[in-house]
Structure 1
Amino acid sequence: MSKVKNMYKVFISSVQKELQVERKTVKNMIEGDALFNEYFTPYIFEGRKAAKSHSAKKEYMENAAECDVYIGIVGNEYGEKGKDGLSPVEREYNEAKDKCVYIFIKGKKDDAREKETVKFLKRIKDEERGHCYKRFETTEELLEIVRHSLVDYLKTQGDIFKGNFEDRPVKDATLADIDDEKIEWFIKTGTAVKRLKLPAGSKPFDVLKHFELLNNGKPTIAAILLFGKKPQKYFRISEINCAHYPGVENVKPMISQHVYEGTLFDQVDNGAAFVLGAISRAVIQKPGRADFDRPFEIPEFVVEEAITNAIVHRNYALLGSVQLGLFADRLDIWNPGTLMKGMSPDMLKQVHSSRPRNPKIAEVMFRAGYIQKQGTGIAEMMRKCKEKGLPEPEFKLMTSDVLITIGRDIYTDEMMKKADLNERQIEAVKFVKIKGKITNAEYREICHVTDRTALRDLTDLCKKHVFGKKGKTGRNIEYFLNRHKPDKADKK
């Protein structure tokens, strides 16, 4: 686990000589803890030369002012007073009092404390600011309450959270980061598809409350991803990276590439448009009519459902974006994360209970008509692919991703093996997927075979109904995949 970019600064303050051991022990604990050393940088004024010099005082005062967390350890002694009548500890507290303050007091009784120390404790007791005051007897007790306090701090900052990741408040985000127009669009869209019914006159804030997208008044991760003005300001990884390849392998140059940002709705819309704008559309005349149907090569529902599932169910706690690759023979979509516990790729292909990783995001997307509910979306994808004569979508668990593959034709590697095609014929099929056709001369060139072998292989492909051909004899004959065979409507 790598350290977070902006670590929290912890200023540890106490009378130097009296509580030197406690101060160093707390610092060492933070630096040696597997969790805390990822989030906190502790500071103590130890080992500095000329501690009473002007530059030294300036240094520790600046560090106190810049800290995120102030830990004050108070014992019996008040400390040496300066010209202002204050000890260094009280001076440091004054610089940090508007930050997160933890005061740990050694000893259960105040009888042995200096009068100035008792007065200091009374002066700094500020419950309204939310300061924490706890007492301890031993160093072990001190370390225990420091651990609990720092864990509580990380929870309030949203760095560690028991619930779903999407429910965490977004640090530094406010309601000003929410796009009211996007919420108003959501209300209209959800109402139009008859999946959303809110009280008349509902405002954007009411929608956030209704779908539990606020945490202590702050927008949650789900709220920013769904309705944020600039979601990538807080979540750079929230994007869909789309690439269109001319062949069947992930190699450059690409035909086109786009990275789409914005809300999750924007990413779904743009990702689907990228695919649907690139795949083929047949031209089929309707029986007895002058107009035509133009169905997509891959059913539109299948494309949209696959992309939406990847964006809705990905793990937003992981680095990496949703990746979409459109190849000559298939559509691949990778989304960061693994399947939910108890789920398997085979279970996805059946009607199953809905187990969303991000239930709030899934609920909002459902209300807007973007996804199916009750785990029926993938089953519907399977049915539509079958109706189209396409292979079933495949789901694979990778190391840290889920990959869905949707074939653009029936000629998958598995199908070609079942058809008993040799390696030359398989290469020829891949060639035609890219080029659209192949001649005897091209077959000889890419497979390095004689004319007789090429003719035998091509004839076999035609007998197996993998290839069709046009042209009469010799050089005029071109072979193509049966899915590319032009019908009467195309000729018109």
Structure 2
Amino acid sequence: MRKIKIFISSVQQEFAQERTELYEYILSDPLLGRFFDVFVFELIPAIDKSPSAVYLDEVAACDIYLALVGSQYGYEDAEGVSPTEREFDMASELFKTRLVFIRKNSPISQHPKQLTFIKKVQEVLVRKSFNTILDLKTNVYSALVNYLLDKGIIRTSPFDASFDNGVTINDLDEDNVKEFVRLARLKRGFPLSEAAHLEDVLIHLNLLRNDKITNAAVLLFGKNPQRFFISSEVRCVSFSGVDVEKPIPSYKVFKGNVFELVNQSVEFVLSKLDYSIGTRAESNSIDGEYEIPREVIAEAIVNAIAHRDYTSNASTQVMVFRDRIEIINPGNLPLGWTVKKLKEIHTSVPANPLLAEPMYLSGYIERLGTGTSDIFRIAKKHGLREPVFTQDDMFKVVLFRPIADQISGQVSGQVSGQVSGQVPLEIKKLIAVLEGEMKRKEIQDKLQLKHRDYFTENYIYPSINEGYIEMIYPKTPKHPGQKYRLTQKGKLLKESL
């Protein structure tokens, strides 16, 4: 990042000490020194150029013009104007940020031209006064921090409530907003209708303020959120064993808005898990279940995406091993919290409150702090080992799968794809739930999957291509009444499950 350049202007003899101390103070301060560079005349090497020309060149090149004004007007040029006033005028003409600090109680009476100059400054700027060098440093520090805040270089508000100057309303997907409204009305009784204007929905959610679009709006409804926040993605990978080692059977990088990231990541994990189906003696519908309940996986992934630190360059990671699932995000627990607190019902302290609210309204998260405690409760109910939460540089959730001897034969009709050379697990799951002729959504709902594109690409197409299912309207794939049924090859596979 290029440092912000400050030009310090003053009558050199009157403010020699102040100029030096300001220079050293700004560059040595842990915060200011990170963002600012300072120009003072005393550091210019000998060059064949008039001092006044050098000064004006430096004013033109600076970002901030900082003037120290006292009692002396200083050297006057042929037109009777001092270098300080010339520099101020140029900074004004070039629309530079101007910071002027006037010394009070000057030991000598002020020059008449200096009084006129001060009056000119006061007419166009709010200036600060100082008595001592300590006063000056305090005022300069405050002014420069305000500059950083105004420019959005540093923030005091949460990331999701801040603004990205490059975002316009055209960067948001109106269809995504309408789908959110539909879900929010269904799940939480959201008061606005699907016909509401985009701006009205954003204002209601506090995502649009003073015609500025918040970062949360981009993450929630952006057409391409990664254009603005490149690390707002989820990297998913599966391993055959219990260690990180090659070959890697499956690796995906998911992009999109936060709702898409959740759906795609959850369905990646589900596609790698064993799936059990009952018998007709248990239920006419022959429903099935995953070895780890979907709600446990979804809750862990939603938390990772909703509460992560979006200022970090790291991505959220999901790793599926034979014995466990690890979900890692660049985030931290609220100050003073421990992982033990997450096992209990607790107050909700979202890291990204403007992001969390719409995810609550659309049914993705709970507001009351029950989400993480539900992970422990549901895991225990299904006989799974207690999940492990750890907070180091990153926050990690480990969900344990049933160990191999517990998995084998646990439920009749179990679908497992861990043996080399077997039919892909996604195909087996689809075959297991396909009864007669079924629509795409009916199959998808049976498998508790939400993301249409992921399901079609990873379940429907491979099953058709391998000859296990067929369309009832093969010549018109997008027929409104399209359904799928098992082929003879598919029926033979189903009998073996």
* TM-score, normalized by the shorter chain, greater than 0.5: yes
> Does the Cα contact within 8 Å between 2:70 and 2:106 map onto a contact in 1?
no
- Structure 1 residue 382, shift from structure 2 partner: 3.5
Go from structure 1 to structure 2 and tell me whether the alpha carbon gap of 1:345 and 1:66 turns closer, same or farther (over 3 Å shift).
same
Pair 1:408-2:413 in alignment: no
> Does the Cα contact within 8 Å between 1:169 and 1:214 map onto a contact in 2?
no
Pair 1:267-2:261 in alignment: yes
* Separation in structure 1 between the aligned mates of residue 384 and residue 152 of structure 2, nearest angstrom: 45
> Does the Cα contact within 8 Å between 2:5 and 2:63 map onto a contact in 1?
yes
Go from structure 1 to structure 2 and tell me whether the alpha carbon gap of 1:218 and 1:70 turns closer, same or farther (over 3 Å shift).
farther
Letter aligned with residue 315 of structure 1: D
Pair 1:340-2:334 in alignment: yes
Pair 1:75-2:70 in alignment: yes
Letter aligned with residue 100 of structure 2: I
> Does the Cα contact within 8 Å between 1:31 and 1:42 map onto a contact in 2?
yes
> Does the Cα contact within 8 Å between 1:51 and 1:57 map onto a contact in 2?
no
In structure 2, what is the equivalent of residue 64 of structure 1? Answer: 59
Letter aligned with residue 91 of structure 2: A
Letter aligned with residue 101 of structure 1: R
* Separation in structure 2 between the aligned mates of residue 149 and residue 301 of structure 1, nearest angstrom: 50
Structure 1 unmatched ranges of 5 or more: 416-431, 438-487
In structure 2, what is the equivalent of residue 157 of structure 1? Answer: 151
**240-249 vs 260-269, which moves further:** 260-269
* Separation in structure 1 between the aligned mates of residue 339 and residue 239 of structure 2, nearest angstrom: 26
- Structure 1 residue 52, shift from structure 2 partner: 7.4
> Does the Cα contact within 8 Å between 2:22 and 2:137 map onto a contact in 1?
yes
Across the aligned residues of Structure 1 and Structure 2, the Cα RMSD in angstroms comes to 3.4
- Structure 1 residue 295, shift from structure 2 partner: 2.9
Go from structure 1 to structure 2 and tell me whether the alpha carbon gap of 1:206 and 1:402 turns closer, same or farther (over 3 Å shift).
same
Q: Which of 211, 214, 220 does residue 220 from structure 1 map onto?
A: 214
1:295 partner SS: strand
Q: Which of 111, 115, 128 does residue 114 from structure 1 map onto?
A: 111
Q: Which of 239, 242, 264 does residue 236 from structure 2 map onto?
A: 242
Give deviations 1:10-65, integer Å, cap 9, x for gaps. Answer: 222223333232222211110111111112122223232456716x6665444423
Go from structure 1 to structure 2 and tell me whether the alpha carbon gap of 1:102 and 1:278 turns closer, same or farther (over 3 Å shift).
same
Letter aligned with residue 323 of structure 1: Q
Letter aligned with residue 77 of structure 1: Q
Q: Which of 119, 127, 132 does residue 133 from structure 1 map onto?
A: 127
Give deviations 1:68-117, integer Å, cap 9, x for gaps. Answer: 32211122333445567654333333343323321111234798333333
Go from structure 1 to structure 2 and tell me whether the alpha carbon gap of 1:141 and 1:352 turns closer, same or farther (over 3 Å shift).
closer
Q: Which of 23, 31, 46 does residue 42 from structure 2 map onto?
A: 46
1:312-327 counterparts in 2 under 5 A? 312-327=306-321
In structure 1, what is the equivalent of residue 450 of structure 2? Answer: none
**255-264 vs 358-367, which moves further:** 255-264
**270-279 vs 291-300, which moves further:** 291-300
* Separation in structure 2 between the aligned mates of residue 407 and residue 254 of structure 1, nearest angstrom: 20
- Structure 1 residue 395, shift from structure 2 partner: 1.6
Q: Which of 25, 33, 36 does residue 37 from structure 1 map onto?
A: 33
* Separation in structure 2 between the aligned mates of residue 94 and residue 286 of structure 1, nearest angstrom: 88
Letter aligned with residue 16 of structure 2: Q
1:409 partner SS: coil
- Structure 1 residue 325, shift from structure 2 partner: 0.8
Q: Which has the higher contact order (CA 8 A, sep 6+)?
A: 2
Q: Which of 6, 13, 18 does residue 9 from structure 2 map onto?
A: 13
Give deviations 1:286-328, integer Å, cap 9, x for gaps. Answer: 4387764343333222222110011112233444221111112
Go from structure 1 to structure 2 and tell me whether the alpha carbon gap of 1:201 and 1:59 turns closer, same or farther (over 3 Å shift).
farther
> Does the Cα contact within 8 Å between 2:23 and 2:40 map onto a contact in 1?
yes
> Does the Cα contact within 8 Å between 1:281 and 1:294 map onto a contact in 2?
yes
Go from structure 1 to structure 2 and tell me whether the alpha carbon gap of 1:163 and 1:288 turns closer, same or farther (over 3 Å shift).
closer
- Under a length normalisation based on structure 1, what TM-score does the superposition of the two structures give? 0.73
1:249 partner SS: coil
Letter aligned with residue 35 of structure 1: L
In structure 2, what is the equivalent of residue 458 of structure 1? Answer: none
**305-314 vs 75-84, which moves further:** 75-84
1:125 partner SS: helix
In structure 1, what is the equivalent of residue 251 of structure 2? Answer: 257
**197-206 vs 245-254, which moves further:** 197-206
* Separation in structure 2 between the aligned mates of residue 126 and residue 303 of structure 1, nearest angstrom: 62
> Does the Cα contact within 8 Å between 1:9 and 1:43 map onto a contact in 2?
yes
Go from structure 1 to structure 2 and tell me whether the alpha carbon gap of 1:132 and 1:170 turns closer, same or farther (over 3 Å shift).
farther
Letter aligned with residue 351 of structure 1: I
* Separation in structure 2 between the aligned mates of residue 175 and residue 82 of structure 1, nearest angstrom: 52
* Separation in structure 1 between the aligned mates of residue 88 and residue 193 of structure 2, nearest angstrom: 50
Pair 1:89-2:94 in alignment: no
* Separation in structure 2 between the aligned mates of residue 331 and residue 93 of structure 1, nearest angstrom: 62
In structure 2, what is the equivalent of residue 351 of structure 1? Answer: 345
Go from structure 1 to structure 2 and tell me whether the alpha carbon gap of 1:345 and 1:288 turns closer, same or farther (over 3 Å shift).
closer
1:259-338 counterparts in 2 under 5 A? 259-287=253-281, 292-338=286-332
**224-233 vs 169-178, which moves further:** 169-178
Aligned length: 415
Go from structure 1 to structure 2 and tell me whether the alpha carbon gap of 1:353 and 1:400 turns closer, same or farther (over 3 Å shift).
same
* Separation in structure 2 between the aligned mates of residue 187 and residue 288 of structure 1, nearest angstrom: 38
Go from structure 1 to structure 2 and tell me whether the alpha carbon gap of 1:199 and 1:277 turns closer, same or farther (over 3 Å shift).
closer
- Structure 1 residue 335, shift from structure 2 partner: 1.6
* Separation in structure 2 between the aligned mates of residue 87 and residue 232 of structure 1, nearest angstrom: 51
Counting aligned pairs with the same residue, the percent is: 33
Letter aligned with residue 93 of structure 1: F
> Does the Cα contact within 8 Å between 2:350 and 2:356 map onto a contact in 1?
yes
Structure 2 unmatched ranges of 5 or more: 407-415, 422-492
* Separation in structure 2 between the aligned mates of residue 205 and residue 84 of structure 1, nearest angstrom: 55
* Separation in structure 2 between the aligned mates of residue 257 and residue 384 of structure 1, nearest angstrom: 28
- Structure 1 residue 247, shift from structure 2 partner: 1.6
Go from structure 1 to structure 2 and tell me whether the alpha carbon gap of 1:376 and 1:49 turns closer, same or farther (over 3 Å shift).
closer
* Separation in structure 2 between the aligned mates of residue 268 and residue 114 of structure 1, nearest angstrom: 69
> Does the Cα contact within 8 Å between 1:108 and 1:136 map onto a contact in 2?
no
Go from structure 1 to structure 2 and tell me whether the alpha carbon gap of 1:182 and 1:291 turns closer, same or farther (over 3 Å shift).
closer
Q: Which of 354, 365, 368 does residue 374 from structure 1 map onto?
A: 368
